[in-house]
Amino acid sequence: MNAIELLLTRQSDPKLTEPAPNKDQLAIIQQAALRVPDHGCIAPWKFIIVQDEARHKLGDIYYQSAVAEQQEEKVINRAKELPLRAPMIIIAVAKYQEHPKVPRIEQIQSAGCSVLAMQQAAFAQGLGGIWRTGYFAQSAAVKNALNLNEQDEVVGYLYLGTPTIDCKKSPRHKPENYFSYL
């Protein structure tokens, strides 16, 4: 797949199954994450790979956090199952560091670029992925259990695996509705 085809056809795949990215595929995904724009070259990122049994560990973290933070019953009841929706999850974190020229938002944007880069690297290799967030990305208890600081931001959970259905999508947005000339 060439680069333009990738950029114009990338899509998310919410239904994912085994196999997870293999060692070589994962290495490319990791390199893509680290190749994103990074103001000041401060590398404000941390990535946590979750697969196999560790998905249950993440589910327990979700569950315990949802209980501790008194989430709705429906959130608590689903918590343990959420990480089982794909064979691999990469948790992308903006590791905020105070910097005279790089404000927090730019560090978060850089980490967000990493999520997209990883999804694209997966897609280009015939894999599928979807970027998810929600309560578990905002939860202080989850951050604490993942050994993150209060200042860190979980920018996304990138679910990765093999797509189970072909969810082709039609072109959505028209450029003229979003681009204008000054």
Q: Which of 56, 103, 134, 151 binds ligand FMN (CB under 6 A)?
A: 134
Shortest Å, Cβ 56 to ligand FMN: 20
CA–CA distance, 37 with 111 (Å, rounded to integer):
9
By CB under 6 A, tell whether 113 contacts ligand FMN. no
Size of the site for ligand FMN (CB under 6 A): 9
In the Cβ-directed half-sphere of 26, how many Cα atoms lie within 13 Å? Answer: 18
By CB under 6 A, tell whether 77 contacts ligand FMN. no
Residue 27 or 105: the one with the smaller Cβ distance to ligand FMN is: 105
By CB under 6 A, tell whether 133 contacts ligand FMN. yes
**Euclidean distance between the first and the last CA atom of the chain, given in angstroms as a whole number:** 35
128: number of Cβ within 10 Å: 23
In the Cβ-directed half-sphere of 85, how many Cα atoms lie within 13 Å? Answer: 18
Shortest Å, Cβ 100 to ligand FMN: 27
Residue 28 or 131: the one with the smaller Cβ distance to ligand FMN is: 131
Judged by CB under 6 A, the stretch of 36-44, 66-74, 88-96, 124-132 that binds ligand FMN is: 124-132
With a CB cutoff of 8 Å and minimum separation 6, the contacts of 161 are 16, 17, 18, 19, 20, 21, 86, 87, 88, 127, 128, 129
**Interacting residues with ligand FMN (CB under 6 A):** 11-12, 130-134, 156, 169
